[in-house]
Every structure is written in structure tokens, then in C-alpha cells.
Amino acid sequence: MRDNDAPVTVACGHRRAYLCAMIDTPAFLDSFRPHVPDLVVPGGVTPFFLPGRPVRGRLVRLGRLADALLTRHDNHDAVTALTGQALALVAALATALKFRGSFSLQAKGNGPVTMLLADCTDTGAIRGYAQCNAERLAALLATTPEPSAAELLGQGYLAFTVDQGPDTERHQGIVTITGDSLAGMALHYFETSEQLRCSIRLACARTEAGWRAGALIVERIAADGGVDLPGEDAAESWNAAEILAGTLSDAELLDDGLAPEDLLYRLFHTEGVAADLPRVLAYGCRCSRQRLSGILESFPPADLDDMVVDGEIVMTCEFCNVDFRFARDEVHGQNEDGA
């Protein structure tokens, strides 16, 4: 899925078609965007490292951004929490890469959550959503009130994709869904596809201040990463960092009142810890009426006629859950000969 793609649903009777917008108008120049939160979290991601040790990481705190993104959909709390974890995870992973475009996480399975998608651009704009099968979800919740990520997703695959635009080759890694939690599934990916030693902690919950989500990722730096330690000492340093990261509680990770630097000090002060410059995260849905109009213009007139319900064509952005309504005479379509 391209960075500028906006998955949308077209309401046309009993037919639902999933389309992708391919118009590249920058969001700040697009006057036809819906009224969605203009929300920025200046310190959303705090990169850090342990000086003299083969350890680096990123602490992600979405803050108010989590509530703004997650409350666009009226999902069950278990599905909302899983989506929030995906948002925190993709923000943590994207900010470790050097790229221009988007980094996305996609999980597709045969469970109640048939699709989980989150992405983050190189500028920190994040978005995500989950598609659910209502009957399967109700059946699962009847027997399992607090289902795990594995129970929600079922059997399927997990994919991470770096997309830098239509003129570049996409880089994608895919593994089968393995593990009970989303963190465990991501660890399986890194162990099998990247041979990277890391520790991943994800949390998302409804708090008194609204939904909050966060992540802590700690990575072992390879021997050629600039840290020169004997093998045994490097292993001991990594094991100590991994144990200390494991002491982090969900409450600490989601606490708005606990500054990132204070939390990192609380976790790693015995090993020494240094924070790098924080990275910005922002509300990142990039849909717009202009983009969706461009999609409709690519359809033959007969198909447009078939999409009309009560005199309108309704397109719904899956990310921000905004309906865009078009009168039939607003769009003309394109014949097979391109006219």
C-alpha cells in the first residue's frame, strides 16, 4: 500500500469496493480535507542509548494522539487496544529508519480482526485501523472476555513495508503470525527475518485522560555498530539491559505525568543512559475529497451509476472514518478509450 494511498469504502448497495487514492497533493495544500484533529506530539518518540554499551532503543508515548486516532472508530476495547499497540509499534520502528515515504505494519488473519493496519511517515504522521468480523468477534468475546492478539487475529501473516513512492521498489518482510501478543509477533519477525536481538514492550489502555498507547524497543547493536566490547562483556551488557527493560510496567509506559527522560533514568540509570533529540508524531490521515474525486473520475460512467445510492456516491475513509458524499453529476468518469 502506497504512502499516499487512502483505503476507502465505496457504498453502492450491497457492494463494497476497496480503492486506493493515487493523487499526490500535499496535505497542507489540500483545502478539501475533512475536519480531523490537527494534533502534534513534539516528544512522541525519544531515542536513547547506553553509552559504551551495545544497546540503543526508542521510547514512544502517543499521549493525546492515541485518543484522537483510536476514538474515530467505535470498536470493542480489545480491538481498540490492539490498534493502539500497532500504532505505537509502527512509530517506534519507523523512527529507527532512514527513508522518505511510509513504513507500515499489516496483519491479516482468519480471526475476528481480519485486517490490522498502521503506518508512519518519515515526518512522524501516523494512522491506523482494524477491520472486524462482527459475528466472529461476538463469538470470541462470549467465551473469552479479554482475548489476546493471537485470538483476535487468528492464523495469517504479518508484514512490514517501507514504501518510498511509486518510482522506487518497496521493501517488504512477511512472516506467519506467531506469538500470543503483537509484541511477540514482532519479535518473531525480527528473530527470523532480520536476525536482530531486541526487546519489545507495547501497551494501550483507556485511562482517566482517554486512550493512551506506548512502546519501548531496546535493540542490541551489532559488533560493527561502533561499540568495541569483548564478546562476553557485550553479552552481559545486553542481558542487563534486557532485564531492566522487562521491569517496565504498563502504568509507567502510559503515564502522561512521567517524563520520558525520567522514565528512561528510572529504568537504566544503573547502566547509564543518554537520550537523543525527540521525534515528533502527528495525526496522520491523509485522505481528502480531492483525492477521492480523482479515484471516482477513473471509473467508467456505468460503474459510477452502479455506485449511486439515494442520488449520491458515498466514500468512507477507513482510517479516519469520514464519509465523503458526491452527487452523481459531480463526477463524469472515464470511458474505455480514456475519454
Q: Which three cell numbers stand for residue 147?
A: 482475548
- Cα–Cα distance between 271 and 257 in angstroms, integer? 24
Phi-psi region of 124 (alpha: psi -120 to 50; beta: other; left: phi over 0): left
Position 31 scores a pLDDT of: 46
Side chain identity at 214, as an amino acid letter? G
Q: How many C-beta atoms surround the C-beta of residue 298 within 10 A?
A: 12
Give residues with Cβ within 8 angstroms of 64, minimum separation 6.
39, 41, 209, 210
The domains of the chain, with CATH numbers, are: 1-35+287-339 (no CATH), 37-283 (3.55.30.10)
Position 153 scores a pLDDT of: 98
Position 44 scores a pLDDT of: 96
How big, in percent rounded to 5, are the helix, strand and coil portions of the chain?
Answer: 30, 30, 40
Position 305 scores a pLDDT of: 87
Position 166 scores a pLDDT of: 76
What Rg do the C-alpha atoms of the chain give, in angstroms? 21
Residues in the chain where the model's pLDDT stays below 50: 1-4, 10-31, 225-226, 228, 230
| Measured distance between the N- and C-terminal CA atoms of the chain, rounded to whole angstroms | 28
